[in-house]
Amino acid sequence: MSDTAKPSFKDNMMKYLGKFSGSRFVRAIMGAGYSIIAFSIIGSMFLVLTVLPQVITANWFVEFYNATIGRFSNMYTVIYNATMGIIAIFFAGSFAYNYADIYRKEENLLLDPLNAVFLTLMALFITVPQLIWKNGATIFVDILKKGNVVSGGYGVSGSGLTRIGATGIFTGLIVAWLTVQIYRYCMKHNLRIKMPASVPAGVANSFSAMIPGFLIAIIVGVIDAALIILGTDIFQVLYIPFSFISAIADTWWGFLIVIFFIHFLWWFGIHGATITSSFYQAIVLANMADNVKGGFHVFAGDPINAFVTIGGSGATLGMAIFIAFLARSQQLKELGKLELVPAIFNINEPLIFGLPIVYNVKLLIPFICAPLASGAVGYVAIATHMVPKISFQQPWPTPVGLSGMIATASWQGFVLSVVCAIVAFLVWFPFIKRYDTQIYKKEQADAAKTAQN
C-alpha cells in the first residue's frame, strides 16, 4: 500500500489554477489587457474635459469653460475616439503580438510578432464590413438613417467605425487567436517563402508572412462568406456569447461573483485580480463606451478599484489605518506603518503576505466579505441612480474618493468611494481587532518567557 498522501483539495486547485494562469492564451490576454489600460485612461481624461460643465454647473465656471478650454471640446472628442474608438485594434494587435512572442520563445519558431499584428489587423478588417446575400451575390449594406449609418458596408457613428471600438474587442480577440494559430502552423511546418541568407531580415520576414497571410485571408473570408449566406457574419456570431456574458456580469449577482473569485483566488496566493480581469476587461470597456453613448451599465470602466478593493484586494485601506495607529501588537503596528502609504494607492501586498492573509483561516471571512459588502453598496448606489454611471477610466492607483469622482465625474462618486471604504472597514473591524489581541497576547507571553530566562 502506498504511503503517498492523496493530494488535498487545495493542492489540486493550486495545480489546475497554476496551469490555467500560466497558459499561453491567458498570459497573452493579460499582456493585451495591460497594454490598453493607458489608452483607456488617456481617452477618459480627455472625455472628462468635455463634460466638465455638467459636473461643475456654477454659472461662472460654465462661462469660463465656454470662453476658454470649451472652445476645443470637439478636439477632446477626437482624441477620445482615437483611443476608445479604436480600442479593438489595440487589444487585438497587442494580444497577437504577445501570443506570437510567447510561441516564438517557447517553441523556438521563426514567428515575427509584428507580422502577427499585421496579419491580425488584416483578418479583423475582413469582419468589419457588413454584407448581405442578395440575388446570388454578396452586397455591401447601405443604410442612411439617423442613428444607423452604414455606407459601403462600414457602419459609422460619432466615434468612427462602429466595429473597431470596444464592442469589437471580443471579435478581435478570437480573430487574433485564429490568426496566430494559422501563422504558427505555417511556420512550424515550413509553409513559407524562404529567402537567401543574403536578403535583409526585414525583407525575409515580410515574404515569410505571405503564405500564412493568404491562408488567413482565405479561411476568414470563407467563414465570413458562409455566414453571410446564412444571413449573419463573423462579427455578429462572435458578439452573441460576448453580449450574453456581458449581460450576466452586469447583474448584481454576476458582479458579486466576479468580486468573490478575485478574493477566493488571492487567498490561495494566486493573483485573482489579474486572472479574473483577463475575462472581464473586454466587458467593462465595452460597457463604459456604451455608457458614454447614453447606455446604462453598472459594471463599466474600473468599478473594482473605484468602489470595491479600496486599499487593495480585500478592501484593506481602513484596516491598514487601524493597525498603523490603534493596534496593540507591535507586529501589526509596524506592518501597518509600512503599508499605510501603499494602501492609499491601492497596493497591499505587504498585508496579503505579511499579516498574512494568504492561507490564514482567521482572516478569510473579512478578506472575502469586506469587498463583497463594499461592492454591494457601490452596485446599489449606481443601479438606483443615486450616483452617476461610470463613464471614465481612472488609473487604478487613484486614492479613495478621487477614484470614484473621476470614474463618475461627480461629487457623488467621491462620497460613494469613501462610504464603500468605511463599509469594508466595518466588516474588517471585529476580525482584525481579535487577531490583533491574539498576537498581542502572544507577544506578551514571549516577552515574559524571555524575561524569566
Strand-pair category, 143-145 with 154-157: unpaired
pLDDT at 5: 62
Q: pLDDT tens digits for the chain (453 residues)?
A: 445 567 666 667 667 766 777 789 888 988 888 788 788 888 888 888 888 887 777 899 889 999 999 999 899 889 988 988 898 999 999 999 999 999 999 999 889 999 999 999 999 999 999 999 998 999 999 888 776 788 888 888 777 788 898 788 889 999 999 999 999 999 998 887 776 666 666 666 677 788 999 999 999 999 999 999 999 999 999 888 888 888 888 899 999 999 998 998 888 777 778 778 777 888 888 889 889 888 899 999 999 999 999 999 999 999 999 999 999 999 999 999 988 999 999 988 888 888 889 888 899 999 999 999 999 999 999 999 999 999 998 888 899 999 999 999 999 999 999 999 999 999 999 999 999 999 999 989 888 887 776
* Amino acid 198: pLDDT: 61
Task: Answer yes or no: are the C-beta atoms of 317 and 343 closer than 8 Å.
Answer: yes
Kindly report the pTM of this predicted structure. Answer: 0.78
DSSP 209-264: THHHHHHHHHHHHHHHHHHHHTT--HHHHHHHHHHHHHHHHTSHHHHHHHHHHHHH
Tell me what pLDDT residue 1 has.
43
pLDDT for residue 205:
66
Measure the CA dihedral 268/274/275/278, to 10°: 170
Domain map (residue ranges) of the chain? 23-128+158-236, 250-447
Single out the residue of 250, 257, 270, 253 nearest to residue 368, CA to CA.
257
- Helix or strand or coil: residue 115? helix
Determine contact, residues 169/88, Cβ cutoff 8 Å.
yes
At residue 276, the pLDDT reads 82
